[in-house]
């Protein structure tokens, strides 16, 4: 493996992928004086906002409630920005709501430890501040149900944190895009990148599906769950599909449930975020499905097998597998019993870019010069929208924050199976999307 380095100042930069990682990087590069002479091109295969990108949805949880203190502290810094509620700020116009979070686990499950560590981390964050009382232990199901206020609940131990909440994910991304556009530094291209262009071990640009190419001094890959189709990430990152189900609710239900906290059970992975615009979402955060198919080796000859996202974009009639819908149904019955039997009118599979530890991959590629990776969101990257771009650009400049040096680095050893072991995942590992779909979908 050759040692790689970045050019002192790339005259031209291509960012592939306009999700949280790519777009926030574009904003930070545009603002940073050291990159003012650089031409920046941002490429996405879909017109913005990408309909099947992970960063685009009705809602995402915004929490500093992490078992890992480094992510807890970075998330807390991001939340300070989410909390700015003026219309011209990220958190304004309903883009962020501090509804509170009830984080729970089932007694005896492996994920109890995550919730306990997270509890202590958020207690520490608030210690000695005016927010000291915002985190409260919920030692039984009765207390959990009283706090959730829907006559339902989940789990049997947990805590509530009134300083966590949720974001309107698509609205947050639209706001970010407007910020980038306003600086007039970035050229936006809508085109699918088919492959990277290498000259020996040097990355010189990207090739599009129509075989045309563009070159740049630095290529930043921020293609989320599709990244393993453009560079070999076997054993380091893998696309995992997660289920989401949506149901319409009345004005009266919106009024009532709009005030509930986010409820997340780390043992089952099931969660509900307060509804918006009369639409409620039930979703699952667990090991998910993989969708392994053979693709041309992005770095050379032959074929390799990787999990590739399958979404409604290529498969408009895609409905989640029976087992996933059954899990959403059960969670709805448990968490909001009054809506327990209301049919789901829409479902979706959204793709995580999972890494073995749940850490992001924000680093130069170890074998190809001028290639930088900004990916590996592992199902928790959205909340960092206000801060991750600056961190990515710090890493590009060789100033990776000390606490993330090891976490965000290229893993030296590839693992056999990527199953995120950050303590936040539950469920059945190793589910294959194709197999589960064959068992049936639509209850």
Which CB sits closer to ligand FAD, 146 or 187? 187
Residue 45 near ligand FAD by CB under 6 A: yes
Sign of CA pseudo-dihedral 334, 339, 342, 348: negative
Query: Do β-strands 165-167 and 60-62 pair in parallel, antiparallel, or remain unpaired?
Result: antiparallel
Return the range that interacts with ligand FAD (CB under 6 A); candidates 11-19, 102-110, 213-221, 422-430.
11-19
Give 111's contacts (C-beta < 8 A, 6+ positions apart). 105, 266, 267, 423, 424, 425, 426
Query: Which of 352, 364, 368, 372 contacts ligand FAD by CB under 6 A?
Result: 352
DSSP letter (8 states) at residue 369: B
DSSP letter (8 states) at residue 133: G
How many residues line the site for ligand FAD (CB under 6 A)? 38
| Distance (Å, whole) CA 233 – CA 231 | 6
Residue 381 near ligand FAD by CB under 6 A: yes
User: Are the CB atoms for 148 and 335 separated by under 8 Å?
Assistant: yes
Residue 53 near ligand FAD by CB under 6 A: yes
Residue 371 near ligand FAD by CB under 6 A: no
| Distance (Å, whole) CA 69 – CA 125 | 9
Residue 425 near ligand FAD by CB under 6 A: no
Q: CA-based angle 146:329:101, to the nearest 5?
A: 35
User: Are the CB atoms for 103 and 424 separated by under 8 Å?
Assistant: no
Query: Which of 40, 42, 61, 308 contacts ligand FAD by CB under 6 A?
Result: 61
Residue 307 near ligand FAD by CB under 6 A: no
Query: Which of 4, 38, 41, 54 contacts ligand FAD by CB under 6 A?
Result: 54
Residue 19 near ligand FAD by CB under 6 A: yes
Give 236's contacts (C-beta < 8 A, 6+ positions apart). 355, 356, 361, 410, 411, 414, 415, 418
**Nearest approach, Cβ of residue 3 and ligand FAD (Å):** 27
| Distance (Å, whole) CA 155 – CA 144 | 8
Q: Scan residues 330-349 and list those touching ligand FAD (CB under 6 A).
A: none
The distance between the two most distant Cα atoms of the chain, rounded to a whole number of Å, is: 63
Q: Which residues pair with residue 90 across a beta bridge?
A: none
Residue 44 near ligand FAD by CB under 6 A: yes
Residue 153 near ligand FAD by CB under 6 A: no
Length of the chain: 443
Residue 247 near ligand FAD by CB under 6 A: no
| Distance (Å, whole) CA 29 – CA 340 | 47
Query: Which of 38, 375, 420, 424 contacts ligand FAD by CB under 6 A?
Result: 375
**Nearest approach, Cβ of residue 201 and ligand FAD (Å):** 22
Which CB sits closer to ligand FAD, 61 or 125? 61
Return the range that interacts with ligand FAD (CB under 6 A); candidates 251-259, 320-328, 378-386, 426-434.
378-386
**Nearest approach, Cβ of residue 55 and ligand FAD (Å):** 3
Give 36's contacts (C-beta < 8 A, 6+ positions apart). none
**Nearest approach, Cβ of residue 288 and ligand FAD (Å):** 9
Cα dihedral 34, 39, 40, 44 in deg (nearest 10): -170
Query: Which of 90, 244, 328, 339 contacts ligand FAD by CB under 6 A?
Result: 244
Q: Scan residues 281-300 and list those touching ligand FAD (CB under 6 A).
A: 283
Residue 382 near ligand FAD by CB under 6 A: yes
Query: Which of 281, 380, 411, 425 contacts ligand FAD by CB under 6 A?
Result: 380
Q: Scan residues 182-241 and list those touching ligand FAD (CB under 6 A).
A: 192-193, 222-226
Q: What distances in angstroms separate CA 162 from CA 46, 237, 261, 273, one per listed residue?
A: 37, 33, 8, 14
**Nearest approach, Cβ of residue 75 and ligand FAD (Å):** 8
User: Are the CB atoms for 122 and 161 separated by under 8 Å?
Assistant: yes
Q: Scan residues 159-188 and list those touching ligand FAD (CB under 6 A).
A: none
Closest CA to 237 of 363, 361, 406, 395: 361
**Which residues here bind ligand FAD, judged by CB under 6 A?**
16-22, 43-46, 50, 53-55, 60-61, 192-193, 222-226, 242, 244, 283, 350-353, 375, 377, 379-383
């Amino acid at each position: 493996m050759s040692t790689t380095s970045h050019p002192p100042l790339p005259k031209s930069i291509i960012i592939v992928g306009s999700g949280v990682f790519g777009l926030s990087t574009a904003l930070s590069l545009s603002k940073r004086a050291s990159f003012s002479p650089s031409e920046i091109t941002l490429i996405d295969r879909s017109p913005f906002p990408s309909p099947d990108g992970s960063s685009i949805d009705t809602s995402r949880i915004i929490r500093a409630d992490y078992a890992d203190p480094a992510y807890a502290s970075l998330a807390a810094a991001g939340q300070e920005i989410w909390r700015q509620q003026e219309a011209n700020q990220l958190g304004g116009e309903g883009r962020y709501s501090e509804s509170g979070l009830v984080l729970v686990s089932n007694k005896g499950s492996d994920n109890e430890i995550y919730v306990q560590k997270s509890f202590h981390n958020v207690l520490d964050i608030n210690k000695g501040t005016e927010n000291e009382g915002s985190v409260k232990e919920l030692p039984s199901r009765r207390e959990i149900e009283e706090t959730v206020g829907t006559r339902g609940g989940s789990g049997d131990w947990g805590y509530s944190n009134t300083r966590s909440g949720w974001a309107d994910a698509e609205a947050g991304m639209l706001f970010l895009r407007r910020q980038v556009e306003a600086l007039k530094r970035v050229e936006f291209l809508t085109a699918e990148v088919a492959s990277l262009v290498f000259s020996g071990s040097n990355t010189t640009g990207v090739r599009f599906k129509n075989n045309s190419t563009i070159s740049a001094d630095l290529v930043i890959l921020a293609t989320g769950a599709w990244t393993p189709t453009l560079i070999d990430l076997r054993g380091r990152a893998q696309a995992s599909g997660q289920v989401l189900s949506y149901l319409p609710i009345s004005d009266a239900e919106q009024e009532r449930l709009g005030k509930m906290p986010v409820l997340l059970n780390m043992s089952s992975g099931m969660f509900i975020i307060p509804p918006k615009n009369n639409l409620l979402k039930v979703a699952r955060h667990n090991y998910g499905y993989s969708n392994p198919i053979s693709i041309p080796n992005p770095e050379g000859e032959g074929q390799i097998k990787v999990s590739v996202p399958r979404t409604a974009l290529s498969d408009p009639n895609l409905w989640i597998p029976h087992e996933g819908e059954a899990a959403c149904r059960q969670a709805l019955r448990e968490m909001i019993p009054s809506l327990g039997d209301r049919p789901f009118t829409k479902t979706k599979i959204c793709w995580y870019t999972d890494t073995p530890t749940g850490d992001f991959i924000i680093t130069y590629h170890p074998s190809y010069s001028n290639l930088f990776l900004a990916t590996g969101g592992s199902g928790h990257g959205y909340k960092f929208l206000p801060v991750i771009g600056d961190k990515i650009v710090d890493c590009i400049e060789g100033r990776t924050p000390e606490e993330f040096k090891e976490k965000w680095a290229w893993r030296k050893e590839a693992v056999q199976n990527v199953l995120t072991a950050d303590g936040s995942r539950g469920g059945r590992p190793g589910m294959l999307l194709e197999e589960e779909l064959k068992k049936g979908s639509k209850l």
